[in-house]
Amino acid sequence: MPEAVRKDKEAYGQVESHVKRVYGARIGWMGWDVYDISPLSKIRFSNQVVDAMGGANKVLENAKASNAKKTLGGWQWSLYLTSQLLQLDNKNTEAKAVRAEAARALGQRTTSANARGFYISEALLHEGKLRFGEHTISHYQQLSQALGAVTAKKLVASPLNDNVQYLRFMIDPRLAEGKRAEFNANFTDEKVSYAIALRNGIVAITDHPNKGPTIKLTKGDWSKLILGEKSFASLSGELKGFDQAIGR
């Protein structure tokens, strides 16, 4: 894209990142490189890249040298290298410091609000300055967990149907593989019933009774199940598969 069209006009997105979405939507995910059909896992890829470059210490030296160039290309290469190092050891303090330096430098030089937010947040993350309330966030998944974590207070304030449906998102597909269990939950205080079944790695919730046992409980009892204060197996031995699929 001509510089005159871009310069000082990318206040939201930027061509480098947003054009990928356009390409993916219009053309598809594959760019005719057959490697993309079945790429290496991230951890295996990082292992092989770092080994090919002479080991972690050599890669770290390269990343520091790239930052020292103080160029866009240098900082970009540093981010790539530290991505591989942190994939292998997410507590590598030197790699985190080098990555923070590169991310902040790029964030200070883009006019894109989106890109700048991600770059600066990345720098704060690896400097130990990204906080949520009283807690320091060490990785983004931790932030997602903090924001989305279910609590007793949230369950009390939420409609029963929402609380029942929440079970579907607690299942780990790998742990649930091959497990089957079902029951009918009869909520005596809410005067409503749900047919709940674990099969094919998912939880299906319907209004039509299934062949499992009928369990009478209250909304409060269900909250204890969701919070892990009570096991599904305690309701019936036939339901231990739910506990296993959640990882309890």
Assign residue 211 the CATH number of its domain: 3.30.1050.10
SS3 state of residue 184: strand
What tokens does 130 get? 């990204």
Round to whole Å and give the CA distance between 246 and 172. Answer: 6
Domain contains 211: yes
> In this structure, are 15 and 92 located in the same domain?
yes
- Mean pLDDT within 110-130: 94
Are 100 and 127 in the same domain? Answer: yes
Q: Is the pLDDT of residue 47 over 80?
A: yes
Question: Average pLDDT of the chain?
Answer: 92
Give kind and range of the element (H or E) at residue 220: helix 219-227
Residues 14, 110 contacting (CB under 8 angstroms): yes
Q: Please indicate, yes or no, if residue 169 is contained in any of the structural domains.
A: yes
Q: Yes or no: say if 90 and 81 are a contact pair by the CB < 8 Å rule.
A: no
The tokens describing 84, both together, are: 């591989």
Residue 23 has a pLDDT of 84
* Residue 60, domain CATH: 1.25.40.880
- Please answer whether residues 43 and 80 qualify as being in contact, where contact means their C-beta atoms are separated by less than 8 angstroms: no
Per the CB < 8 A criterion, the answer to whether 168 and 205 are in contact is yes
- Do 118 and 168 fall into the same domain? no
Determine the length of the chain: 248
> For 146-154, what is the mean pLDDT?
80
Same domain, yes or no: 136 and 192? no
The model's pLDDT over 188-241, given as tens digits with 9 standing for 90+, comes to 999 999 999 999 999 999 999 999 999 999 999 999 999 999 999 999 999 999
Q: Do 117 and 177 reside in the same domain of the chain?
A: no
pLDDT at 59 over 80: yes
Say what the pLDDT of residue 135 is.
74
Give the pLDDT band of residue 17 (cuts 50, 70, 90): confident
Residue 221's domain spans which residues?
152-246
Choice among 144-153, 164-173, 193-202, 224-233 with the minimum mean pLDDT: 144-153
Q: Report if pTM > 0.85.
A: no
User: Do 194 and 115 have their domain in common?
Assistant: no
Give the DSSP H/E element, type plus range, for residue 69: none
Residues 230 and 118 in one domain: no
Residues 138 and 66 placed together within one structural domain of the fold: yes
Mean pLDDT value of segment 156-166? 95
pLDDT for 67 equals 98
Domain count, the chain: 2
Q: Do 168 and 134 fall into the same domain?
A: no
Residue 146 has pLDDT above 80, yes or no: no
pLDDT above 80: residue 145: no
